[in-house]
Amino acid sequence: MHPGATLRLLRVDAGLSLRDLARRIGVSSAYLSRVENGVDAVPTPERLAAIARELDVPPTLLMDVAHRLSPFVANYLEEVPGATALLMDISRRRLTSEQLLRVRAFLDAEFPAPAPWPDAPAPGLGPVLTPGRMVLRLTCSALEDALDVAAGRLAADLPGVSASRLVAELRRREAEASNAVGNGVAVPHAFVENTPPLAALVTLAQPLPDETPDGVPLRLLVVLVDGEQRTHRLMRLAHVARLASHGLAARLSDAEQPAQVQTRLAELESLR
């Protein structure tokens, strides 16, 4: 995984230059550039929280993408030592996503959460993705071919918006900064005013050896079109990057039916 690529993706979409964001969080632009390019280590949770504040997205989103422990969780583990032992036991047992869902169901039934999580949940991918906008095991030789197919599916659900317009906007955004977030996933996206948020998903029969931040060939594209305010748009991008960091491409690459995609995606998203 390459968290720096996600930070760059969000920064560019927020309309912030490297120098602007660096100044706002009190670091040098050279340091931030090294982080975005994977040269320096992922920032500390405190610095990730500062970046999240400037981007107006929940800090836990960035921490999850970077596999950093939220200070909220760290404080709890310090206050309740037994919680650490329980987490170690879960790790030792190697619980699967399905098994963790059963654990969560038990917790919800026996110990209802007294208050919402400190951060608002990110907009999910499931509600904006329909079976008709899923293209599974596509055979193509170039990323542009996959974008053309995805744009066609999206345009069919956007009256007055042509596929060629979507493709042009997707390519314009890609020219600003790569949409690849690592782990075989890319998030091409377009902002089109007065449109609802929609997603198309494309899995590839053969990985594309495009340039990616972590060197892992592309296996899956989540193509987004959105006319929402900046915060929701950035949160959805960060959420897809988080899914990528949790193995989205590996989970969906062999799916042959949209129903399989929906089930596996729901499992991943339920663990937010």
Q: Write the pLDDT tens digit of every residue in 4-16.
A: 999 999 999 999 9
Q: Examine residue 221 and state whether it is found in any structural domain, yes or no.
A: yes
Could you tell me where the DSSP H helices lie in the chain? Answer: 3-13, 18-25, 29-36, 45-55, 59-65, 71-79, 81-93, 97-110, 143-155, 163-176, 230-245, 248-252, 258-270
Q: Examine residue 53 and state whether it is found in any structural domain, yes or no.
A: no
Q: Examine residue 234 and state whether it is found in any structural domain, yes or no.
A: yes
Name beta bridge partners: 225: 190, 198
The whole-number average pLDDT for the span 225-252 is 89
How far, in Å, CA of 89 to CA of 30, rounded? 41
User: Is residue 241 scored above 90 in pLDDT?
Assistant: yes
User: Is residue 206 scored above 70 in pLDDT?
Assistant: yes
- DSSP state at residue 246: T
The number of domains in the chain is: 1
How far, in Å, CA of 45 to CA of 269, rounded? 22
Quick one: pLDDT at residue 69?
Answer: 65
Give residue 80's pLDDT band: very low, low, confident or very high (50, 70, 90).
confident
Those residues whose C-beta lies under 8 Å from the C-beta of residue 79, and which sit 6 or more positions away, are: none
Residue 251 belongs to what domain range? 126-270
Q: Examine residue 132 and state whether it is found in any structural domain, yes or no.
A: yes
Tokens of 263: 């089930």
The pLDDT tens digits for 184-196 are 999 999 999 889 9
Angle between helices 45-55 and 18-25 (to 10 degrees): 120
The torsion defined by the Cα of 107, 61, 236 and 180, in degrees rounded to 10, comes to: -130
Tokens of 224: 């987004």
Q: Examine residue 9 and state whether it is found in any structural domain, yes or no.
A: no
Q: Examine residue 228 and state whether it is found in any structural domain, yes or no.
A: yes
Q: Examine residue 30 and state whether it is found in any structural domain, yes or no.
A: no
The pLDDT tens digits for 111-169 are 886 655 555 566 789 899 999 999 999 999 999 999 999 999 999 999 999 999 999 99
User: Is residue 265 scored above 60 in pLDDT?
Assistant: yes
236 close to 122: Cβ distance less than 8 angstroms: yes
Q: Examine residue 83 and state whether it is found in any structural domain, yes or no.
A: no
CATH number at residue 253: 3.40.930.10
Backbone angles phi, psi at 27, to 5 degrees: -130, 170
pTM: 0.83
